[in-house]
A = this chain, B = another copy of it.
Amino acid sequence: MKRKYLMTPGPSPVPLFVRDALSKEILHHRTDEFRQILKYVSEGLGYVFCTKNPVLTLASSGTGAMEAAVSNLFSYRDKVITISGGKFGERWSEIAKALGLEVVEMKIEWGLAPSCEEIKKILDDNKDAKGILTTLCETSTASVYDIEAIGKLTREREILLVVDAISGLGQDKLLTDKWGVDAAVGGSQKGFMLTPGLGFITLSKKAQSAVEDSKLAKYYFDLKKALKSYDESDTPFTPSVSLIVALKEVLEHIKKEGIENRWVRFGKMAVATREAARALGLKLFSRNPSASVTAIMSPTGIKSSDIVKTLRKSYGLSIAGGQDEAKDKIFRIAHMGWINEQDLIMCFSFLEQVLKKFGYKFKSGESISRLQEVFYD
C-alpha cells in the first residue's frame, strides 16, 4: 500500500479536524447560527491578516479575490504599477489589462525580489499611478517580497498598495495595518489548511473609499455590496457555507498556536529546508527565499519535472515543479499550513532516493541530519 503525501504550495494538506468540520450537517446561511460563525471567521481572519479593518470572504478561488481588488479599487484607464517577477506578479498584470487599466510593469528577474530603489524610481516616474500591485510570497519562484519596505514608500503617497498574500499568509510575516497595506488578498487552500474555494480581501479606510469611487463594471465581486453585508455578518450572495464552517475550526487552531509563533516556526522550517538542500550540494533558486515554499535548482543534467514525476509515482509524494521559464529547472517544496517538520524529513528522505536513482552524487542521509540539527539541536 502506497501512502500519499501532499507538499505542493496549494492545495496543501487538509487535516482531519478540518475535514471533519467540512462534513458537518449543512446550515442555512440566513440564520443567526451561521451569522455568528461568519462573525467569528471575519474576526479570526483579521487576526491572521493583522488588520482591524474588514476582511471579506468570497466564494471563489484566490484569483477571484485578486480580480475583486482590481475591479473595486480602480476605474477604466487608471494607471497601476505591477511588480512582475513570477507567475503571480504576471497575474496582476493580466487582470489589470483584462479590465482595461493602463499597466506599468516593473519586470524583475525570476528568483529576485524588487529593490526599494527601483520601486522608488518607478513611483517617482509614475506619480499619476493609482495603485501598485505586488506579492507577499511569489509562489512560482519561492521568493518573499519586502512589503514593509514597499509600504514605507507608498504610505507617504496617494497610491494604493495591493498585496497578493495568497500563498504567503500564515507563514511569511504580514502586518497589513502597520505596514500600510491597503488591500491584501488571501485564499483558503494554503496557510489556512482548507480545500480551495474561498477568497479573502482586506480593505483599509483608504481602500474603502476607493471602492466607493471605482467605476469598473462588476456584480458578483462588488465589494460595496459585500461591505454592506459584512456589517450585518451576512454576504450578498450564497456563501460557501461548509468551507466557512470549517474555516472557523482552522482559525481556532491558528489562534491557539499564535500567528507570531507560526511565523517563527515556518521560518525555521524554511531555513532547515534550505540547509538540507545545500547539504546535498544543491543550489537554491530564490535570493529572497520565502517561509512558505522553497525552490531548489535541479542538478545539471536532471530535469526537475523528472524528479517531481518520480517522487509522485514511486513514493506517492507530490511536490511542485517549475512553471513557465523555470520549467524543468527547479522543484518546489511547500512548508505551509499543516505541513510540519516531520513532513520535511520524510520529503528529503524520498528526495535522496530519487536523486540517487538519477545518478546524482551526495553523501546519503546528509540532508536528514541537517534538518534534524536545525529542528532539534
Residues of A within 8 A of B (CB): 4, 6, 8, 10-11, 13-14, 19-20, 22-29, 31, 59-64, 67, 94-95, 98-100, 187, 189, 195-197, 216-222, 237-243, 312, 318
Contact = CB atoms under 8 A, between A and B. Distances in A.
A185 B162 CA distance: 33
Given A22-B242, A197-B59, A242-B195, A99 B219 contact: yes
Contact of A220 (B11, B20, B67): B67
B26 A11 contact: yes
A352 B61 CA distance: 44
Contacts of A13: 26
Contact of A61 (B28, B67, B238, B312): B238
A220 B29 contact: no
A204 B30 CA distance: 35
Nearest to A198: B197
A61 B318 CA distance: 30
A94 B62 contact: no
Stoichiometry (number of copies): 2
A2 to B, nearest CB: 13
A196 B22 contact: no
A196 B60 contact: no
Contacts of A59: 59-61, 64, 196-197
Given A59-B64, A98-B217, A196 B240 contact: yes
A28 B14 contact: no
B23 A11 contact: no
A42 to B, nearest CB: 18
Contacts of A20: 23
A327 to B, nearest CB: 13
Given A67-B220, A240-B61, A318-B31, A26 B100 contact: no
Given A240-B195, A318-B28, A98 B218 contact: yes
Given A94-B219, A197-B197, A197-B243, A61 B237 contact: yes
Contacts of A99: 217, 219
A337 to B, nearest CB: 11
B63 A238 contact: yes
A23 B22 contact: yes
A267 to B, nearest CB: 25
A241 B98 contact: no
Contact of A189 (B217, B220, B238): B238
A238 B23 contact: no
Top-10 shortest CB links A-B: A23-B23, A197-B240, A195-B242, A19-B23, A98-B219, A63-B237, A14-B26, A196-B238, A61-B238, A67-B220
Nearest to A245: B195
Contact of A6 (B26, B62, B237, B312): B26
Contacts of A62: 238
A199 to B, nearest CB: 9
Contacts of A28: 6, 8, 11, 318
A219 to B, nearest CB: 4
A99 B218 CA distance: 6
B98 A239 contact: no
A67 B98 contact: no
Which of the listed residues A26, A196, A217 has the most CB atoms from chain B within 10 Å of its own CB? A26
B25 A14 contact: yes
A159 B282 CA distance: 61
A237 to B, nearest CB: 4
Contacts of A4: 25
Contact of A100 (B22, B23, B217, B221): B217
